Chains A and B, each alone.
Chain A
């Protein structure tokens, strides 16, 4: 690649510092909260959704593909971790590598889905996730996956270590998004999203760009699924492949604003905060509030909270 005489073209260092600062603050904050707040599972779930929303941001925010079946990678990661721990008796960290590997393998198998677009892609990805669930939950495979009866991983149960591993994965996902927002590669992905034909004429390999984004997004979800299995240690296939995981991550991302770093973070903190505040105790109010919020979002802020500023020409970190 040539050096390009630039000047104004260089990504301002200040932008990168601001993005990285937000990422660091969120990771540090979630780390500190564990010592302050006693409901560790709730904090852990926050980390899970903070990470999944950013993972989804990589594929949707930067390429425009919205996989409703994103949970498939999460489930593949959870079972990649579980199978490695149960059958190969590997330590948890090696199991995490298996989690990421399982999601990547699934992503490679599903690469042809990228030939679809829009609603067709969204639905096909959901069907693919359901297909993986059906395989994992098949009672005939009980000797391998434990079928519908769920897995128990008490031999690696380590709430503190898995919590901090989840934080590390969150940091990884945030750094990926910071990189995409401030690199030419990320810019090429946005160009592909805007117009793949024009992007190709700019010399950008559309297939390569989409493939990398797809694999990175799947990897993030797979790692989150793996750390979920590690932290929870007892779970069932319908938990690991629960479609509401996809829906939550999607709504959080869209509510905050895709392509930004802070949008999905805000989406999770606000909406998952509301869910935890009223969703469990008074689910009927929660469902009403959630439904009203989503309707308002679609009607008034289709590009999320971040668009309140971006439409005024203000760059949102």
Chain B
């Protein structure tokens, strides 16, 4: 593992009116590492991904990617510089074909010259639907297409937002293998997920969040034994 983190977040704050969705979150992520971001609904996990991917500008703290500050940078620039993401609810371009969805990202997302769209579609088992409108895919396939669109920009940092939700056990296993393979190729992954079995298969370590703050960092096994984590997940009020 590289000594320098690819992503370093320090004291990240995001507010919506008077509500502090992120209240000083700090975390780091190295190339080839898979970090799970877990916590109850409303704890700020997706907001964190939204800030890193440029959807929201942070109100405080810093987001350092590959040694430079990227807080508030536009999403399309971040995509070109190697940050991409999937969405909790898949967001394909419904009027375009499956291939066009991926081709567009491969054109505008600045992957290496000669990027092979067809090989990516085959890898993700979408090649049989290449010429079909994305609207005809089922939910699991649309999630995979979301991943394909992200991968077509050849990201160094992939933010995965609840990709596993709604997948059947066989699809879950295949998705876990895919994500581990991406990490094996040197990609850093930040995975937001509620399915602990999936988190266990995919991540190297986890950060647990509640009420916009991270309060635990370590392996999932340690997290499940931590009384504070148990209290937050099983009741007794939020941390802090």
Residues of A within 8 A of B (CB): 1-9, 184, 187-188, 190-191, 193-195, 197-206, 259
Q: Is B216 an interface residue (CB 8 A)?
A: no
Residues of B within 8 A of A (CB): 53-55, 74-76, 79-80, 84-85, 87, 91-96, 99-101, 103-119, 130-131, 146, 149-150, 152-153
Q: Report the Cα distance A5→B111, complex, angstroms.
A: 12
| Chain A residue at minimal CB-CB distance from B116 | A5
Evaluate contact between A194 and B95: CB separation under 8 angstroms.
Answer: yes
Q: Which of A1, A2, A205 lies at the interface centre, i.e. has the most chain B CB atoms within 10 A of its CB?
A: A2
CB distance from B68 to the nearest CB of A (A): 18
Cβ contact of B108, chosen from A1, A197, A259, cutoff 8 A: A1
Evaluate contact between B96 and A194: CB separation under 8 angstroms.
Answer: yes
Evaluate contact between A198 and B108: CB separation under 8 angstroms.
Answer: no
Residues of B within 8 A of A3 (CB): 113-114
Q: Report the Cα distance A296→B205, complex, angstroms.
A: 59
Task: Give me 9 other A-B pairs in contact (C-beta within 8 A), A198-B149, A202-B152, A203-B109 excluded.
Answer: A4-B106, A8-B99, A9-B103, A197-B55, A198-B87, A201-B84, A203-B80, A203-B108, A204-B104
Evaluate contact between A200 and B79: CB separation under 8 angstroms.
Answer: yes
CB distance from A225 to the nearest CB of B (A): 31
Q: Report the Cα distance A283→B114, complex, angstroms.
A: 61
Q: Report the Cα distance A173→B93, complex, angstroms.
A: 26
Known A-B contacts A190-B96, A194-B94; A202 and B108 likewise in contact (beta carbons under 8 Å): yes
Evaluate contact between A191 and B153: CB separation under 8 angstroms.
Answer: no
Task: List 28 A–B pairs whose Cβ atoms lie within 8 Å, in order of A's numbering.
Answer: A1-B110, A2-B115, A4-B107, A4-B115, A5-B115, A5-B117, A5-B119, A8-B130, A9-B103, A9-B117, A9-B118, A184-B107, A187-B96, A191-B93, A195-B92, A198-B87, A198-B93, A198-B149, A199-B104, A200-B76, A201-B53, A202-B76, A202-B109, A202-B152, A203-B80, A203-B110, A206-B76, A259-B95
Q: Report the Cα distance A7→B74, complex, angstroms.
A: 32
Q: Report the Cα distance A259→B153, complex, angstroms.
A: 27
Evaluate contact between B104 and A2: CB separation under 8 angstroms.
Answer: no
Residues of A within 8 A of B74 (CB): 200, 205
CB distance from A311 to the nearest CB of B (A): 11
Cβ contact of A2, chosen from B75, B76, B92, B106, cutoff 8 A: B106
| Chain B residue at minimal CB-CB distance from A11 | B100
Residues of A within 8 A of B99 (CB): 8-9
Residues of B within 8 A of A2 (CB): 106-107, 110-115
CB distance from A191 to the nearest CB of B (A): 4
List of 10 A-B pairs having minimum Cβ-Cβ separation, nearest first? A203-B108, A203-B109, A200-B75, A202-B105, A198-B91, A2-B113, A194-B93, A203-B79, A191-B93, A5-B116
Residues of B within 8 A of A205 (CB): 74, 76
CB distance from A48 to the nearest CB of B (A): 29
Known A-B contacts A5-B114, A9-B99; A203 and B91 likewise in contact (beta carbons under 8 Å): no
Evaluate contact between A184 and B104: CB separation under 8 angstroms.
Answer: yes
Q: Report the Cα distance A85→B198, complex, angstroms.
A: 72
